[in-house]
Every structure is written in structure tokens, then in C-alpha cells.
A and B are shown apart, each in its own frame.
Chain A
Amino acid sequence: MKVKPVASVSVLIILAAAVLAIALGATGYTPSLELRPLAEFYLKHCLNPFKKEYWAASPEAVTSMLWDYRGLDTVYETTVFFLAIIGSVAVFRFAEAALTSYKEAEKGKPKAEEGLSLIVRVITRIVFVLIVALSAAIALHGHLTPGGGFQAGSIFAVAPLLAIAAFSRRFLEELGLTKNKCLAIRTTGLLAIALIALIPLAFVLMGFAGSFIIQNQPKPWALHPVFPGFPVNLGPIWLAGTLILFNIAEYLTVASGFTLLFILLALPEEFFRRLMGK
């Protein structure tokens, strides 16, 4: 391989700069016995019933930061996710026509020939159910145990990938996971996130001054009457206000978004070629 001088020199410069930055203490005081003040604040207040003006009502510090303290940041990251998937769908704009011609060609074929061997198919059926159940549990318990919407959606995304490899695209279609349904579920999830984020603003119109976007719990220093906040628990079930709602909405968004991408990627190549005249 020919060594390219510009690339090698730039890589060397980046390497030297990174080593110098770390040597000069760019990473702060790691490893350390102390926490950074910001982290200490989050840990101290995420579930502090004695200081309810700062709490997020969730024992999980990461989720309470993700959807409460740093909520706007996460919403913007969801927007990036939305744009990436919309971009992928736009690039594959031939997919609809390819899908139709693919379905027509598939009609005559006997069904039993699809997929890998019997052992793989049986195991995949079992694992498919387990993956979906696990991802749902992680999403619904995201405010209590490690996990949340992003994690659960990423775990769910493995299931359609496995099904496409072991069976075929038709398996997903028989389950009801078609391209348009995935788009619809994803859009519903995104709309739910936007609506939950905007509910406190609707309260402003009703006279509850001092509430803000993605507010979870009431803030006592706000002007009276104070925004009541989302319910912390429903009887014995801990809800943690908006956190469980955001987690479920994000789960639907991420899971259906990745399923959509895998459905598009699994379209057979020859149909695209035929359509594009190549």
C-alpha cells in the first residue's frame, strides 16, 4: 500500500494533539475518588423526596437526566434520528415500486422453500418472542432499572434483523410490520414525544404561569398557581411523571425506525436494478 503523506501527517498531528491534551489534563481529574459537582447534583436530587423542587421522581439517575434535566437535548437528538431515517427512506424512493414487483414475482413460489433450516427457524421463533418481551420490559421499566426507550428500541431492532435472516421479509409482513406501518408507528411516537413536551405550555394558556417545555415535576418557585406536574405514581405503580411516557414513545420511535431500515435493506437487489434500468 502506498503511504499518503498528507493523510499520515494529519493523523500524526491529531495523535500528538490528543496525547498532549490528555497529558495537560483535558479529561479533568480521572481517575478520582470525587464526583464532578454536576454529577453530584444529579445523583443527590434524582429521587430526593425531601427536596422536591429539584427532583425528577425517578431512582434512575441516567433516565432522569435524559428526559428531565437534559430533556431538550434528547429531543434534538431524536430529531437527528428522525432526519437520518427520513433521509434513508428518501434515498430508497424506488422501494415502493420494487416492493410491488417483488410481491408479484413472489406470488407463484411455494412458501415452504423460504428461509434457513428447520432448527434455525424454530430457535429464531423462540428467540424472536424473547427479544421483543425483553425490549418491552426494558422500555416500561426504564425509569426504575437500567434501560430506557433508546436501549429498548435498539434491542428490539435485532428481532426483525434475525427474522429477515432466518425466514424472509414475508415473515415480518405477516406479523404486520410493513414499511408504511413502521413509518406510521414511528411518526406516532415522535408526535407523542412532541405533545408530552408541549403539555406544560398548554397549562400556561390555562393560567398556570411559569411552566416550561418538558417540565416533569412542579417547581415551587414558579408563579402561582403552580403547574401540578405529571403523576408520580398510580397507586402502587411508580410512573415518575413524564419519564415513562417519553420512554414508551422513544421505544416505539427507535424500534419502528430501525425495523423500517432493515425492511428497506432486505429488498432484493435485482428488482432495483430492473427498475433503474441498470
Chain B
Amino acid sequence: MMEIIDYALWLYMYSVLVAIAAVAIYGVVARPNILKKIIALTILGDTANTFIIFIGYRLGSTTPPIITTLTPTPEQISAFVAASVDPVPQCLVITAIVINMAVTALLIFLAIQAYRLYRTLHVKNLARLRG
């Protein structure tokens, strides 16, 4: 019984993440306001990062991937390997978060500059303006 509940919760988490990603993609594709496109893009990035961290979860282990001693014995190393979560997704995500933040900042700077020049953030109106 517990296994079925576990599996159902797991599927529920996956579907929530996919649904958020779908909403974010809709926002990027269909919303005409550039600011809303940027907000949707940050939501998409955060969903992707959560998804990657989620994949790194390991059943029954709650230890972060850090050895607590500087002079480990072979037994301590094998106990650490047996208990620790997957470090690869964490490693992938930490750079992605910072790069995401920097790219968002660049997009915001571009949006501010576009607003200063054209007094609008609506994509259709921006496309009509020339020069």
C-alpha cells in the first residue's frame, strides 16, 4: 500500500513540474509583453532546475554528498557512498542558477533599453517600429 502511495506522489510531482513548464512555455510563446515573457522564462528555468534536482533524489538517503572527516577510513568511504544522494544534478544546477540569473539580468537590461527607446514593451508594437 505504501509503495503505491509513494509511486502516486512521485507521478504527481512529475506532472506538476511538467505542467509548470508547459505554462512557462506558453508564457514565453504567447504573451505579448516582453516583461511577462522574461518572468515566464525564469519560471521555466527554475522548473528545469527543480526537475534536475528531483532526478538526483535517492530512496532512503538524506545525507548531503559531503564526507564529515578529512582522514576517512575505507569503511567510512563505503558508508558515505551507501548513504549519500546523487551529487551530479546538484553540480549541474548550481552553475545553471547563476547563469540563469545573469541571463535574466541581461534580458531585463535589454527590455529597459527597448522601453526607453520606444515607450512600449508590446512585441507587436515593437515589431512595427523601424529604426
Interface residues of A (CB under 8 A from B): 4, 7-8, 10-11, 14-15, 18-19, 22, 27-28, 30-36, 38-40, 42-44, 46-50, 59-62, 65-66, 70, 73-74, 77, 80-81, 84-85, 87-88, 91-92, 145-146, 148, 150-151, 153-154, 238, 254, 257-258, 261, 264-265, 269, 272-273, 276, 278
User: With A254-B98, A276-B117 in contact, do A4 and B30 touch (Cβ < 8 Å)?
Assistant: yes
Interface residues of B (CB under 8 A from A): 6, 10, 14-15, 18-19, 21-22, 25-26, 29-30, 54-55, 57-60, 64-72, 74, 77, 80-81, 84, 86-88, 90-91, 94-99, 101-103, 105-106, 108-110, 112-113, 116-117, 119
Return the 3 tightest CB-CB contacts between A and B, nearest first: A7-B30, A61-B65, A84-B102
Is there contact, CB below 8 Å, between B116 and A151? no
User: With A33-B58, A276-B117 in contact, do A153 and B98 touch (Cβ < 8 Å)?
Assistant: yes
Is there contact, CB below 8 Å, between A30 and B87? no
Contact of A22 among B18, B30, B117 (CB under 8 A): B18
> In the complex the two chains form, what is the Cα distance from A257 to B54 in whole Å?
30
Is there contact, CB below 8 Å, between B18 and A18? yes
Is there contact, CB below 8 Å, between B116 and A272? yes
Is there contact, CB below 8 Å, between A154 and B58? no
Is there contact, CB below 8 Å, between B105 and A261? yes
Q: Is the interface of B mostly helix, strand, loop or mixed?
A: helix
Most buried by B among A8, A49, A84, A265: A84
